[in-house]
Structure 1
Amino acid sequence: MKKKSTRPGPQMDLFREMIVDNFAGGGGASTGIELATGRPVDIAINHDPDAILMHKTNHPYTKHYQASVWDIDPVQVCGGQKVGLAWFSPDCKHFSKAKGGKPRDKNIRGLAWIVLRWAGKVRPRVIILENVEEFQTWGPVRKGKPVKKLAGTTFERWKEQLAALGYVIEHRELRACDYGAPTIRKRFFLIARCDCRSIVWPEPTHGEPESEAVNSGKLQPWRSAAEIIDWSIPCPSIFDTKQEIKKKYGVQAVRPLADNTM
């Protein structure tokens, strides 16, 4: 068994290893990866033509595949080149509590199995999966409803199979506001490595404004949405009527808004 390296060094061989963005949407994850590595993502995959068009617009140097992730052969698209990072953001709607009591689609909930296909076929050195925190409750679905007593069993089996392929796995729930983004929403992140190197998580840079860490100067205060909004852009009030908005701004608006929105 190889000993873990503790020596500092580059996380990727930028000239020999590929970066693949599965379930690529408009390109947000690819943008983050590009900022971190200093180079474009090599491959982006999504079945939706609008998503691929937006991704092409934002990332013109990436090779795009408009197809189901299941229709892509990792060996073929990588052409024998090693994969340094494979990113996965499977559809989260059928895990999220925001879906309420609506039926769950077990096929969409099972999209994360594609990770094992990539791990088995091209063995990416690093695999990162991002999803809602409820992803950890992944289990069987019967008649459109998750089986409560079996919650999390599929997730654990999925991790066991990934580990059996030689990956060391860690996962956490992180909040973007702790890293300088103006949102308190939590997200689930899983990192798996097969290169005998340690998994290193980012240290928070921001914190709750009244916390001791912020008051002592160890962390910066959370950013607010007000900081990133361009207030010079005219915006109709949620309380204005359709007629008032048309008169003030010359645009059509949906009014009245739904009660839940208000």
Structure 2
Amino acid sequence: MTERGALRVIEICAGAGGQALGLEKAGFEHELAVELDENAVNTLRHNRPEWKVVQGDVADREVWNPEHFAPREGWRLDLLAGGVPCPPFTIAGKQLGATDERDLFAWAVEQVKVVRPRALLLENVRGLSMPRFSGYRQHVLDRLQEFGYSAEWRLLHASKYGVPQLRPRFVLVAMEPDDFARFHWPTEIGDPPSVGETLFPLMSANGWKGAEEWAEKANDIAPTIVGGSKKHGGADLGPTRAKRAWAEMGVDALGIANHAPNPDDVFAVGPKLTCEMVALLQGWDHNEFKWEFTGKKTSTYRQIGNAFPPPVAKALGVAIAAALNGTSEICERGDVAGVDKIYRALRSKGDFMTAAQIAQATKLELEPHELERRISLLSRDFQIEIRNGKAATAYKLGEFKAFLGQDDHVRHDQFHQLRAKIS
């Protein structure tokens, strides 16, 4: 444990620094930041040249070796944090989960066993909270429990922490039981300003005559900004549904502008946003969360759009620091309930189970088609062996398909083949 006020963090999949900046404001000092994308790495180094920032695949031991940061006499890492890739879980994607070459969530959890941080903070998209991934989430909780940690998931809305954007993020926090007993999820601070209120100074910067009228129309918070990935085309503000929401506020979401509107500009839908405007909507303000992005426009937009809003990261960092420093009260909470009873029953049994046996073990009354559906969902992330015969159909849970660090995992070939398109 480091001395109070000098909590140390290692951040994996650090992106362009949204979480990093928030954690810094919460009192954490970066021992190391690891990121794959060259442009994001350049942004991190530009803003914090004193940090040790390493570029590359964080799962490559030559890039980052977790064993080098295991506890030693007089030193222990306080926080392992990261915003591991979202595409494996996003609702807008194929939700390949454990079979997506970009999935590092389960791998990151496994590093807890090696690094033994006092706390773990991982964030991802809302899709990970959906029924599709209930078995995946249960696996994560069970592994952390095996490592001696208490853990909890929570869906946080950025708009409740001062960010003028509808941006739900699914967050996992884990600590050893005595520290976790003092962990309180951060208190919401109320409604944020609207898009119009937030962006009026920038929209009017070049003297645009329609700025005031536009700001009055843009009287809601922004839809979730989607940074996208290298697998897709240029920058825009999101899928079709989001574009309609933007249009209702007078924003053209089909691309990013180079500058604010000129005095006499007239628009069919409304002006496009600049990267600076998008950064404001992500919580990077010009005061507490001041940050400069490097790279060309599309890259800059992706860095901003894929980030974890700094104000949310700060709120979480403050809550984690309070628990680690012992300055918060003990939190009364019940046992964290299992999120997938069928998974747990099959895992506990370790052998074939019929529908009747599963029902008895889980206390669930499931129609045959619902059980088959649940088993089918599990089979997307786990090997499931099905035994049909004269007796009732039986199911056996096999290996987790996710990359956990295996030398022979298919992820290695897929990752190297697609590396140029992974972000």
Confirm or deny: 8 A CA contact 2:85 2:103 kept in the other structure: no
Work out the percentage of aligned pairs sharing the same amino acid.
25
Consecutive unaligned residues of structure 1, counting only runs of 5 or more, are 1-9, 139-147, 207-220, 240-244, 250-254, 258-262
- CA–CA distance in 2 between the matches of 1:190 and 1:175? 14
The alpha-carbon distance between structure 1 residues 194 and 92, as it changes in their structure 2 partners (threshold 3 A), is same
Q: How many residues align?
A: 209
Shift of 1:162: 1.4
Confirm or deny: 8 A CA contact 1:26 1:58 kept in the other structure: no
The superposition leaves residues 21-61 of structure 1 with CA deviations (integer Å, 9 ceiling, x where unpaired) of 11011111000001111x54221001221111111112222
- CA–CA distance in 2 between the matches of 1:78 and 1:48? 26
Out of 55, 61, 67, the residue aligned to residue 44 of structure 2 is: 55
The alpha-carbon distance between structure 1 residues 164 and 175, as it changes in their structure 2 partners (threshold 3 A), is same
1:202 and 2:186 equivalent?
Answer: yes
Q: Give runs of aligned pairs for residues 130-149 of structure 1, distance below 5 A.
A: 130-137=123-130
The alpha-carbon distance between structure 1 residues 154 and 238, as it changes in their structure 2 partners (threshold 3 A), is closer
Equivalent residue, structure 2, for 1:213: none
Q: What SS does the corresponding residue of 1:21 show, helix, strand or coil?
A: strand
Confirm or deny: 8 A CA contact 1:40 1:59 kept in the other structure: no
**Amino acid aligned to 2:185:** W
Confirm or deny: 8 A CA contact 1:113 1:158 kept in the other structure: yes
Greater relative contact order (Cα < 8 A, sep 6+): 2
Out of 73, 76, 79, the residue aligned to residue 68 of structure 2 is: 76
Greater share of residues in helix = 2
- CA–CA distance in 1 between the matches of 2:159 and 2:140? 29
1:64 and 2:46 equivalent?
Answer: no
The superposition leaves residues 212-257 of structure 1 with CA deviations (integer Å, 9 ceiling, x where unpaired) of xxxxxxxxx4321222212223489978xxxxx9xx86xxxxx999
Confirm or deny: 8 A CA contact 1:45 1:65 kept in the other structure: yes
Rg comparison, structure with higher value:
2
Q: Give runs of aligned pairs for residues 119-130 of structure 1, distance below 5 A.
A: 119-130=112-123
Q: What SS does the corresponding residue of 2:151 show, helix, strand or coil?
A: strand
- CA–CA distance in 2 between the matches of 1:124 and 1:41? 14
Equivalent residue, structure 1, for 2:19: 29
Greater share of residues in strand = 1
Equivalent residue, structure 2, for 1:13: 4
**Amino acid aligned to 2:203:** W
- CA–CA distance in 2 between the matches of 1:75 and 1:62? 20
Out of 85, 97, 107, the residue aligned to residue 91 of structure 1 is: 85
Shift of 1:64: 0.9
The alpha-carbon distance between structure 1 residues 98 and 11, as it changes in their structure 2 partners (threshold 3 A), is farther
Equivalent residue, structure 2, for 1:174: 156
Q: What SS does the corresponding residue of 1:114 show, helix, strand or coil?
A: helix
Equivalent residue, structure 2, for 1:114: 107
Confirm or deny: 8 A CA contact 1:12 1:84 kept in the other structure: no
Shift of 1:116: 2.9
The alpha-carbon distance between structure 1 residues 62 and 84, as it changes in their structure 2 partners (threshold 3 A), is same
**Amino acid aligned to 1:231:** M
Of 170-179 and 192-201, more deviation after overlay is shown by: 192-201
TM-score with structure 2 setting the length: 0.44
Q: What SS does the corresponding residue of 1:170 show, helix, strand or coil?
A: strand
The alpha-carbon distance between structure 1 residues 54 and 122, as it changes in their structure 2 partners (threshold 3 A), is same
- CA–CA distance in 2 between the matches of 1:102 and 1:194? 31
Shift of 1:105: 7.7
- CA–CA distance in 1 between the matches of 2:205 and 2:134? 46
Consecutive unaligned residues of structure 2, counting only runs of 5 or more, are 211-249, 253-257, 263-267, 271-423
